[in-house]
């Protein structure tokens, strides 16, 4: 049965000319958008001979309007010369207390004819609404949503369909090459995101988690490595019933999973999707950008699609983003713990956060720190359990180490397990400077290009000193240490006692 949207979808040969909007038309449409509370910016639409398709150049930064309304002065400040389109900024609530969104059917690229047809069938699941044809012969189904929606583009490779929510730009008619195809008003729905997900599930694009995916990660890897869960043996051959040759129980021989995220989720993790709505700055932001690119590659996003998602960044540079995305390794996505350390964890909003927190709390209870209330015998017992040796033996080992004439080489050998021997000059000077704190303190400044390993080598070396004697400071004012450890005085020089 033919989808009703196939009648909307023309062949490339059927479009011979495109309407070129006047400056007045663009300004009038932008003014209408302002009147209903939808921010917009001018855009230049042009033909790219290399890609053989139309591309867009957005002439102004727009991320500021994802969360607030556009002012009339900001709209008037735009230059509408040498542009031929208007792009709407999705994300903020309009004056009608609704969010403008779009279902985007994008057929450019290497989308197969089968997947294109599947996409047209899925479009028929949505309510009747205003439909526009794009410059590259795609379709936009426009909706007002009572609830806000985020971008979902993880199903594009299978259907050509994406949900355009926040943050995203959406070009509309009368922009160059954009045409309204029907006379419907923009439909109002309660939750466009749920409608989208329901349509994808109905057509088998989103599948329910399998029994294996719902298992704890360690158990999942055991099954996928060919290890029998009954007898723990590894069997290289199977009998005709696909059973373990040792205990005659069935087990899986599927290949090892590529990524932690793929074994637990049917789409990119929530923290990955949420991070795209933030400004990713500094070293942690850089690592998160690589993490986002790596994870999206796992879900069949093209490099160009990933680059487009980074256009929301204020420092967006196409060439730099292209190199970052290209270098991202999809087999090395960051773990949830690392993402938490970078500051991009969603905490209670993430479905796996509570589970990880419970495990961490259990570990902390099992391996609790020594408290002031514990007796000396308790401390000695825990110390011996931690290091697996009697206290007297540890004292003997420490004394032997202290008189070792080759202690420097001993420490270097240990550090080389984590740090390259090419950094020995850093390791030695850091070690000597740190030890000087117990004699006549020295100061040290390491200066080299970013990414050369200064911080990593320093931290690994300092692990050989008592942790209570080390304080890590990322940045500080000249007097922060004295203020932190000094005595607070009043204007008369008298100590201020805490209440």
Residue 241 has what pLDDT? 47
pLDDT in tens, the chain (499 residues): 556 665 555 444 344 468 899 999 999 999 999 999 999 999 999 999 988 889 998 876 777 787 788 899 988 899 888 899 999 999 889 999 999 999 999 987 778 889 999 999 999 999 999 999 999 999 999 999 999 998 888 788 889 999 999 888 899 999 999 999 999 999 999 999 999 999 999 998 886 544 333 333 344 334 334 445 444 444 433 344 445 554 555 444 433 334 434 444 457 888 888 888 888 888 788 889 999 998 888 877 888 888 888 887 877 787 888 888 888 888 778 888 888 888 888 887 777 676 767 666 665 555 554 444 456 566 666 666 666 666 667 677 777 777 777 777 887 888 887 777 778 888 888 888 988 888 888 888 888 777 667 788 888 888 878 877 787 776 666 666 666 655 667 777 776 655 4
Residue 315 has what pLDDT? 79
Residue 249 has what pLDDT? 52
Residue 480 has what pLDDT? 63
Query: How many alpha carbons fall within 13 Å on the CB side of residue 83?
Result: 25
Q: What are phi and psi of 465, to 5 degrees?
A: -110, 160
Among residues 142, 180, 171, 17, which one has the least CA distance to residue 83? 171
Cα end-to-end distance, the chain, whole Å: 79
Residue 360 has what pLDDT? 66
Q: What are phi and psi of 431, to 5 degrees?
A: -60, -45
Residues 173/179, Cβ–Cβ less than 8 Å: yes
* Residue 362 C-alpha from the chain's centroid: 28
Separation of alpha carbons 182 and 160, rounded Å: 21
Which residues fall within 8 angstroms of residue 342, CB to CB, at 6 or more apart?
284, 287, 288, 334
H helices within 70-229, ranges in order? 72-76, 113-123, 156-159, 192-202, 211-214, 217-224
H-helix or E-strand spanning residue 265: none
Among residues 55, 41, 42, 20, which one has the least CA distance to residue 174? 20
Separation of alpha carbons 87 and 315, rounded Å: 20
Separation of alpha carbons 161 and 90, rounded Å: 17
Whether this model's pTM surpasses 0.75: no
Residue 45 has what pLDDT? 93
Residues 60/42, Cβ–Cβ less than 8 Å: yes
Which residues fall within 8 angstroms of residue 8, CB to CB, at 6 or more apart?
131, 133, 139, 181, 182
Which residues fall within 8 angstroms of residue 125, CB to CB, at 6 or more apart?
195, 198, 199, 202, 203
Among residues 103, 92, 89, 68, which one has the least CA distance to residue 168? 89
Separation of alpha carbons 302 and 110, rounded Å: 10
Residues 259/287, Cβ–Cβ less than 8 Å: no
Residue 408 has what pLDDT? 79
Residue 239 has what pLDDT? 43
Q: What are phi and psi of 6, to 5 degrees?
A: -65, -25
3-state secondary structure of 427: helix
User: C-alpha distances in angstroms, 265 versus 29, 259, 453?
Assistant: 41, 10, 34
Question: Which residues lie across from 89 on neighbouring strands?
Answer: 169
Separation of alpha carbons 191 and 186, rounded Å: 14
DSSP letter assigned to residue 368:
P
Residue 477 has what pLDDT? 67
- Angle, alpha carbons 131-173-127 (nearest 5°): 15
Q: What are phi and psi of 346, to 5 degrees?
A: -90, -5
Residue 47 has what pLDDT? 92
């Amino acid at each position: 049965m033919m989808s009703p949207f196939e009648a909307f979808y023309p062949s490339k040969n059927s479009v011979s000319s495109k309407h070129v909007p006047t400056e007045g038309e663009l300004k009038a449409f932008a003014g209408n958008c302002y009147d209903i509370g939808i921010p917009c910016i001018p855009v230049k639409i042009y033909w790219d001979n290399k890609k053989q398709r139309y591309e867009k150049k957005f002439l102004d930064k727009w991320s500021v309007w994802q969360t607030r309304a556009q002012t009339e002065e900001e709209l008037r400040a735009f230059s509408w010369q040498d542009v031929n389109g208007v792009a709407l900024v999705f994300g903020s609530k309009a004056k009608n207390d609704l969010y403008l969104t779009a279902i985007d059917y994008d057929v450019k690229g290497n989308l197969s004819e089968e997947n294109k047809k599947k996409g047209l069938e899925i479009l028929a699941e949505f309510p009747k609404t205003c439909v526009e044809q794009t410059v590259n012969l795609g379709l936009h189904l426009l909706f007002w949503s009572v609830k806000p929606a985020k971008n979902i583009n993880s199903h594009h490779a299978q259907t050509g369909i994406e949900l355009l929510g926040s943050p995203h730009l959406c070009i509309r008619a009368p922009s160059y090459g954009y045409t309204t195809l029907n006379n419907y008003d923009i439909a109002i729905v309660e939750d466009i995101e749920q409608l989208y997900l329901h349509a994808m599930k109905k057509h088998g694009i989103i599948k329910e988690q399998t029994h294996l995916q719902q298992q704890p990660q360690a158990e999942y890897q055991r099954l996928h490595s060919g290890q029998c869960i009954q007898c723990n043996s590894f069997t290289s051959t199977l009998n005709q019933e696909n059973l373990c040759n040792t205990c005659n129980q069935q087990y899986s021989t599927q290949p090892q999973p590529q990524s932690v995220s793929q074994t637990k989720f049917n789409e990119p993790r929530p923290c990955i999707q949420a991070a795209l709505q933030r400004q990713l700055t500094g070293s942690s932001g850089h690592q998160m950008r690589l993490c986002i690119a790596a994870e999206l590659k796992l879900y069949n996003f093209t490099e160009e699609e990933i680059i487009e998602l980074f256009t929301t960044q204020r420092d967006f540079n196409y060439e730099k983003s292209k190199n970052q995305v290209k270098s991202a390794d999809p087999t090395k996505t960051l773990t949830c713990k690392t993402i938490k350390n970078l500051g991009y964890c969603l905490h209670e909003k993430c479905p796996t956060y509570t589970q990880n927190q419970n495990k961490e709390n259990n570990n902390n209870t099992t391996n609790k720190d020594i408290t002031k209330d514990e007796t000396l015998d308790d401390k000695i017992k825990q110390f011996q359990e931690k290091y697996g040796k009697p206290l007297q033996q540890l004292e003997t080992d420490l004394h032997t180490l202290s008189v070792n004439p080759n202690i420097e080489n001993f420490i270097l050998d240990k550090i080389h397990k984590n740090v390259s021997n090419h950094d020995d000059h850093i390791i030695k000077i850091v070690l000597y400077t740190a030890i000087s704190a117990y004699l006549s303190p020295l100061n040290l400044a390491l200066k080299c290009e970013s990414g050369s390993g200064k911080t990593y080598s320093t931290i690994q070396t300092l692990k050989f000193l008592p942790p209570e004697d080390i304080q890590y400071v990322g940045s500080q004012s000249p007097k922060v240490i004295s203020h932190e450890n000094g005595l607070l005085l009043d204007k008369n020089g008298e100590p201020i006692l805490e209440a």
